[in-house]
């Protein structure tokens, strides 16, 4: 995949049809709104917040007294689920569909907003019955079934902090997260379906929590028709079938009054060093940010749109743009359990046709897979309901953008390429459809309220450099759970606390458009998933035969980036490389998850190091990509380069 460059000159103007019906119908309207939001951020954000329901209004919009620990809407009281659900029911829209759910085997469920009010309340009461209340941490390890959205909202309803763990993570990853968050309960299912196979989620949870004394209860949602004989048994008193508890639970539950700065959730993400960090989001700012970004970026018209975000709720995209943002806007959405190529490669397009999806939001890696699978899977479906497309998770290469535009968007749907992060909570750079002309591969311009710049290391504005955000914004992270120093040093130290440092490189072109060039730290983006190279390296060195390891990211045709691991075996511990490769791969599966498997594991006697002993990762990347190596005279032992080159080719 090629890096986005400013050599791309194609420009796609909003169509008059789209512009005339959109929330922000012109470039002038965007410019005026953006200027207003930067000149008077507090006035701007308080107007947005006033569109939502609060139990008590805030005293102050932004409190900067303890920067970078910014606080928003201080003194305000609310409950985000009231804005996601009750507000719509009270406005007479209880009959509107909230979720059209599609199971992988072909079963389906439809839940209206009124149903959601009952289901979320029932679930919330079941949690209460287990002794869970405000401030308690609850881990959620569920597949993409409606209960995933219901459970997260139920936590929010009673003020419990949810920590959703993507159901592709291994038992050991569950353990790390449960212990870090001191979760009191886990919500899981007996299993799920993936590419036709039954996957037993509770077994993975049982293994993960075996040594977690903090866990008092496990709530199990039934997904398979037959009750499973669980590998680790059923622990009486700890394990409960959700459907049993639900029988006695009332479907009314008053929302807990939450302070704007009370924690809403934790979501773990990888950084360049150490263990995954628990990103903290609080109630009020996150609520306001996800509400407005959903409304404007997707131009949501709740009376007529059917929205579909293909992400998993286990990632931030699912939190902000399945659960909280779309529901606050009262739109109908599709939720799908399974794989895009099951039973066949046309599954997504079949779903778009079936539910007449009008807004479709997916990842570039998926688009590249669709391209590879061939146009026939697309052309046999009627996709004329689509009016807007979006992408998220990684830079999109112009070729994939053009295919999406032509094949899925019929050259009429605007494409919103949304740049943002777990930490930012919501969209930061994105075209606003109807207002901003698009360029294939560019996330275009800052969202209202966001002041972005491209800087060099010293904080000077440059054309190509590092992305920086000048001002705090409501949906920003409030910190790293249990580690305030790491929050400061990771995000606020690069430019002396003046700017937020997201860890991405960027170019700003002459029109003021931003082009994300990828991570500038040791984080690799594999199919839109963040993987810290240090995390993977520490898995490998746990193997008794491994002395040292270095992991790098390399371009990958479908995944955007793939991982290559260089592994040094201890002298005397050498053995069959294929056996070793299998052992190391299964360690990755069990310590992180299958999605973090490297494409290649290369065994080597040494790694290129400087005389001071630092591994030269840039050089490893050049070797892996077969690029000219330039000056290698600073290497302690230049001969290692030739050996590695042969190994890569072999
Ligand atoms: C939402 C999400 C964040 C990292 C981010 C960047 C990359 C996300 C992107 C993009 C280029 C886009 N990223 N969206 N790069 N263009 N539209 O993905 O959050 O999982 O925390 O990843 O993903 O590198 O820093 P998260």
Tell me the backbone φ, ψ of residue 92, rounded to 5 degrees.
90, 10
pLDDT at res. 5: 53
Q: What is the ipTM of this complex?
A: 1.00
Residues with CB under 6 A from ligand 1: 269, 315-317, 392-395, 417-422, 443, 502-504, 516, 519, 525, 528, 530
- Token readout for 178 is 């449960």
Distance CA 444, CA 140 (A): 35
Ligand 1 centroid, distance to 528 Cα (angstroms): 7
Q: Please tell me the residue having the least CA distance from ligand 1 atom 19.
A: 421
Q: Please tell me the residue having the least CA distance from ligand 1 atom 26.
A: 421
The answer to whether the CB of 52 falls within 8 A of the CB of 287 is yes
Predicted confidence (pLDDT) per residue in 529-567, tens digit: 999 999 999 999 999 999 999 999 999 999 999 999 999
Of 487, 467, 469, nearest in space to 478 by CA: 487
Residue 506 pairs in a beta bridge with 465, 516
pLDDT at res. 581: 96
Helix (H, G, I), strand (E, B) or coil at 365: helix
Of 322, 320, 339, nearest in space to 331 by CA: 322
The binding site for Mg(2+) comprises 541, 543, 546
Q: Give me the residues of the chain with pLDDT under 50, please.
A: 1-4
The answer to whether the CB of 409 falls within 8 A of the CB of 361 is no
Angle among Cα 27, 29, 32 to the nearest 5 degrees reads 105
Ligand 1: which of 393, 429, 513, 519 to mutate, judged by most atoms within 8 Å of the beta carbon?
A: 393
Distance CA 58, CA 76 (A): 4
The answer to whether the CB of 431 falls within 8 A of the CB of 413 is no
In 404-429, which positions are buried (b, 16+ CB within 10 angstroms) versus exposed (e)?
bbebbbeeebbbbbbbbbbbbbbbbb
Q: Which class for 454: exposed (0-12), middle (13-18), buried (19 or more C-beta within 10 A)?
A: buried
Predicted confidence (pLDDT) per residue in 191-209, tens digit: 999 999 999 999 999 999 9
Q: Please tell me the residue having the least CA distance from ligand 1 atom 17.
A: 419
CA distances from 341 to 143, 254, 294, 351, 370 (A): 17, 41, 28, 12, 9
Ligand 1 centroid, distance to 319 Cα (angstroms): 14
Angle between helices 577-591 and 533-540 (to 10 degrees): 120
The minimum-distance atom of ligand 1 relative to the CA of 418 is 17
The tokens 């959601």 sit on which residue? 116
Q: Please tell me the residue having the least CA distance from ligand 1 atom 3.
A: 421
Ligand 1 centroid, distance to 269 Cα (angstroms): 12
Q: Judging by DSSP bridges, how do beta strands 185-189 and 217-221 pair with one another?
A: parallel
Nearby residues of 70 by Cβ (< 8 Å), 6 or more positions away: 62, 63, 64, 472, 476, 478
Task: Spell out the domains of the chain, with CATH numbers in brackets.
Answer: 10-82+281-450+474-491 (3.40.50.12780), 111-259 (3.40.50.980), 527-649 (3.30.300.30)
Task: Tell me the H-state helices in 479-596.
Answer: 484-491, 533-540, 577-591
pLDDT at res. 115: 98
Of 247, 240, 242, 243, nearest in space to 215 by CA: 240
The minimum-distance atom of ligand 1 relative to the CA of 317 is 1
Ligand 1: which of 419, 441, 452, 527 to mutate, judged by most atoms within 8 Å of the beta carbon?
A: 419
Tell me the backbone φ, ψ of residue 392, rounded to 5 degrees.
-160, 155
pLDDT at res. 394: 95
pLDDT at res. 2: 39
The answer to whether the CB of 437 falls within 8 A of the CB of 26 is no
CA distances from 446 to 23, 29, 34, 367 (A): 17, 14, 8, 24
In 527-546, which positions are buried (b, 16+ CB within 10 angstroms) versus exposed (e)?
bbbbbbbbbbbbbbeebebb
The answer to whether the CB of 216 falls within 8 A of the CB of 235 is no
The minimum-distance atom of ligand 1 relative to the CA of 320 is 1
Distance of CA 61 to the CA centre of its chain: 27
- Token readout for 610 is 């400087």
């Amino acid at each position: 995949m090629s890096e986005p460059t400013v050599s791309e000159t194609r420009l796609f103007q909003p169509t008059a049809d789209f512009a005339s019906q959109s929330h922000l119908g012109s470039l002038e309207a965007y410019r005026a709104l953006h200027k207003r939001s930067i000149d008077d951020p507090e006035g701007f954000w308080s107007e947005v917040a006033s569109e939502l329901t609060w139990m008590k209004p805030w005293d102050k919009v932004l409190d900067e007294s303890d920067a970078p620990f910014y606080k928003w809407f201080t003194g305000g009281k609310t409950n985000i689920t009231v804005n996601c659900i009750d507000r719509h029911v009270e406005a007479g829209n209880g009959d509107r569909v909230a979720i059209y759910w599609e199971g992988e085997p072909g079963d389906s469920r439809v839940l209206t907003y009124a149903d959601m009010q009952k289901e979320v309340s029932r679930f919330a009461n079941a949690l209460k019955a287990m002794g869970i209340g405000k401030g308690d941490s609850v881990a959620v390890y569920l597949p993409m079934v409606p209960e995933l959205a219901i459970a997260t909202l139920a936590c929010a309803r009673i003020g419990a902090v949810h920590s959703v763990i993507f159901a592709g993570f291994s038992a050991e990853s569950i353990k790390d997260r449960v212990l870090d968050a001191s979760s009191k309960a886990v919500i899981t299912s007996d299993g799920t379906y993936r590419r036709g196979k039954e996957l037993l989620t509770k077994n993975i949870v049982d293994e993960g929590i075996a040594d977690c004394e903090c866990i008092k209860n496990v709530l199990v949602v039934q997904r398979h028709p037959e009750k499973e004989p669980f590998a680790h048994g059923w622990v009486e008193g700890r394990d409960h079938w959700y459907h049993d508890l639900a029988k006695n639970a009332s479907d009314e539950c008053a929302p807990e009054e939450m302070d704007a700065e009370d924690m809403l959730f934790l979501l773990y993400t990888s950084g360049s060093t150490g263990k995954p960090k628990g990103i903290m989001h609080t109630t009020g700012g996150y609520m306001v940010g996800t509400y407005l970004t959903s409304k404007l970026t997707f131009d949501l018209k709740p009376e007529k749109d059917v929205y579909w975000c293909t992400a998993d709720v286990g990632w931030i995209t699912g939190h902000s743009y399945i659960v909280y943002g779309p529901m606050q806007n009262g739109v109908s959405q599709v939720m799908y359990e399974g794989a895009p190529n099951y039973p066949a490669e046309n599954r997504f397009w079949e779903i778009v046709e079936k539910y007449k999806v009008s807004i479709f939001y997916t990842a570039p890696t998926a688009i590249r897979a669709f391209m590879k699978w061939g146009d026939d899977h697309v052309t046999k479906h009627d996709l004329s309901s689509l009016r807007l497309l979006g992408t998220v998770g990684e830079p999109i290469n112009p070729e994939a953008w053009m295919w999406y535009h032509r094949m899925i968007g019929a050259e009429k749907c605007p494409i919103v390429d949304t740049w943002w992060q777990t930490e930012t909570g919501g969209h930061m750079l994105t075209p606003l459809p109807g207002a901003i002309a698009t360029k294939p591969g560019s996330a275009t311009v800052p969202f209202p309220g966001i002041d972005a710049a491209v800087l060099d290391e010293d904080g000077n504005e440059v054309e190509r450099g590092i992305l920086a955000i000048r001002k705090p914004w409501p949906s920003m992270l409030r910190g790293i759970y249990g580690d305030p120093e790491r929050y400061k040093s990771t995000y606020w130290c690069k430019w002396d606390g003046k700017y937020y440092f997201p860890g991405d490189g960027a170019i700003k072109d002459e029109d003021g458009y931003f082009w994300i060039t990828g991570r500038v730290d040791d984080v690799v983006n594999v199919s839109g998933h963040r993987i810290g190279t240090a995390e993977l390296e520490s898995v490998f060195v746990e193997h008794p035969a491994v002395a040292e390891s270095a992991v790098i990211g390399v371009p990958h045709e479908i995944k955007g980036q793939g991982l290559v691991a260089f592994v040094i075996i201890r002298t005397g511990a050498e053995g069959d490389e294929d056996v070793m490769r299998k052992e190391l791969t299964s360690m990755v599966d069990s310590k992180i998850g299958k999605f973090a498997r490297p494409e290649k594991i290369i065994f080597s006697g040494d790694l290129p190091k400087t005389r001071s002993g630092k591994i030269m990762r840039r050089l490893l990347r050049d070797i892996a990509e077969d690029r000219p190596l330039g000056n290698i005279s600073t290497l302690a032992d230049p001969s290692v380069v030739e050996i590695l080159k042969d190994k890569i080719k072999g």
